[in-house]
A and B are shown apart, each in its own frame.
Chain A
Amino acid sequence: MLRTPDIFGSSIVALGAFNPAIFSPDWLEKNRLIGADDASAAKALSSYIISGQVSFFETGWFSTQVVENQFVLNSKGPLSPAFRDLAMGILSLVPHTPISAVGLNFMGHYRMGNDADYHKVGDVLAPKSIWKDLYSGENDSIGVGDLTMRIQRGPRGQPTTKDERRISLQSSTKLPCALYLAYNDHHEIVEDRDRNLTSAERAIEVINNDWESSQADALRVFDGLISRALEELS
């Protein structure tokens, strides 16, 4: 059974050429992607901003930020497939927007039982011996700030696709004695002329096909990293 995160969220990011001004709570409500209460709540917050260059608003279960070259949908509260549906719904409203990449991102905060376990994970994943040779002073201490690994398909240095995954490890800034793990499933997007799909429609297809499996993989990898690291030194 997989380790359960204490906090778990997702974001869906699309890179492309957007018109931020159209991304508003009213627009989503009019297209029945959110309810009237969500739209009202979004407009009531001081963070609500809609302009030609940027759109930002949030409800009780998501926030969205759109600038001219990036769309970000960020989950709040419990994560369910309704979040994926919303991302697909929004992009389906702009089928001719050129989109060049989609990122399916997941992040988890994992509380560790004690100091020793908390430090063990970083010690195993980023050994300190070389660093301690270089900074051997009594007043020097060495720890992981941010560790990111990149996973590509194909032989080393010769990736067969531009799609890739990035897994990051940090100390949690939200919970004490906790690890923060982030998973980025990056997809390059091109239109599919054979199937008459625009790049936005391809992006929707990627989100529909891969969001749930990426989520499952993120949970598997997060659990695997922590469990294996703890086993290594025990």
Chain B
Amino acid sequence: MPPPVPTFLIAESPNRRSSVFLSEDDRVAAPLEILSSRNTSGFDGDANPKCGRPVYDSYISRSQIPQRRFAPPVVLGNRQMAEIADAAVIQLWEGKVLRVDYELAVMEVSLEAKMGSIPPHSAEIELQWVSDQDRDLVEPGAVFYLTLFKRTKHGSIENTQELRFRRLPAWTRQQVARVHEDAARLMTKMKARPQAE
């Protein structure tokens, strides 16, 4: 039996509102071809002796998907989430730019491993590994993440790396207020210099 045509699905459970993520096929009914992630076979019993190859039990063509239609929240089962994830991190370093040499197009950095017990060390990284959109962030003190990871896609596995600069969140209203409070406190402690007689 074909599944119901998806509309905008919102994770709700009878007992509580849920902050569990929705699977890719639960997401907004954007004009996409959607595959159900529901696996028709169980595992760990005799149900699936062939070791659970992914079974997409339905296919919804583009014409079946309502465009920009909104429906009330519906109760969902716990479907598999984050289907768009396709990689796993092998090693992750948090780096800090110490110095930038534009002539040689390299940046001197310190690296601290976020996995395992590798001691911090320094390195030189060529600027060609920094994406164009992050180039303006390259300056002493800037923080970046260097990730060595494996990606599983279409049955093949590739090992590769990614360098992504940290983009700091904007200051919150509360943080700004705290700065003002601190400044005001400092001001109260300041005294005018005594005038020379």
Q: Does B80 contact A (CB under 8 A)?
A: yes
**A34-46 contact mask (Cβ, 8 Å, vs B): 1 or 0:** 1111100000001
Query: Is the pair B167, A176 in contact by a Cβ cutoff of 8 Å?
Result: no
A139 to B56, CA, bound (A): 23
Q: How far is the CB of B196 from chain A (nearest CB, A)?
A: 44
> Of B19, B70, B149, which contacts A53 at CB under 8 A?
B70
Query: Is the pair B87, A53 in contact by a Cβ cutoff of 8 Å?
Result: no
Q: Does B123 contact A (CB under 8 A)?
A: no
Tell me the interface secondary structure of chain A in the complex: mixed
**A20-47 contact mask (Cβ, 8 Å, vs B): 1 or 0:** 0000000000011111111000000011
Query: Is the pair B166, A82 in contact by a Cβ cutoff of 8 Å?
Result: yes
Query: Is the pair B21, A11 in contact by a Cβ cutoff of 8 Å?
Result: yes
A residues 94-132 touching B (CB-CB < 8 Å): 95, 100-103, 105, 107-108, 114-115, 118-123, 125-126, 128
B residues less than 8 Å from A51 (CB atoms): 68
B residues less than 8 Å from A5 (CB atoms): 88
Q: Give the size of the chain B interface in residues (CB under 8 angstroms).
A: 74
Q: Does A211 contact B (CB under 8 A)?
A: no
B residues less than 8 Å from A74 (CB atoms): 21, 82, 84-85
Q: Does B30 contact A (CB under 8 A)?
A: yes
B residues 141-159 touching A (CB-CB < 8 Å): 145, 147, 149-152
Q: How far is the CB of A3 from chain B (nearest CB, A)?
A: 11
A residues less than 8 Å from B152 (CB atoms): 6-7, 174-175
Given contacts A7-B85, A80-B147, contact A186 B44 (CB under 8 A): no
Q: Does A157 contact B (CB under 8 A)?
A: no
B residues with CB within 8 A of A: 8, 10-11, 17-22, 27-28, 30-32, 37-39, 41-49, 51-56, 68, 70, 73, 77-78, 80-90, 92, 94, 114, 131-134, 145, 147, 149-152, 162, 164-174, 177
The 9 closest A-B pairs by CB, nearest first: A122-B44, A143-B42, A103-B19, A35-B133, A9-B85, A143-B47, A89-B169, A11-B21, A143-B45
Beyond A92-B169, A187-B19: 14 further Cβ-contacts under 8 Å?
A14-B19, A35-B131, A49-B28, A49-B68, A72-B22, A78-B149, A92-B171, A118-B51, A118-B52, A119-B43, A141-B42, A148-B78, A177-B53, A178-B52
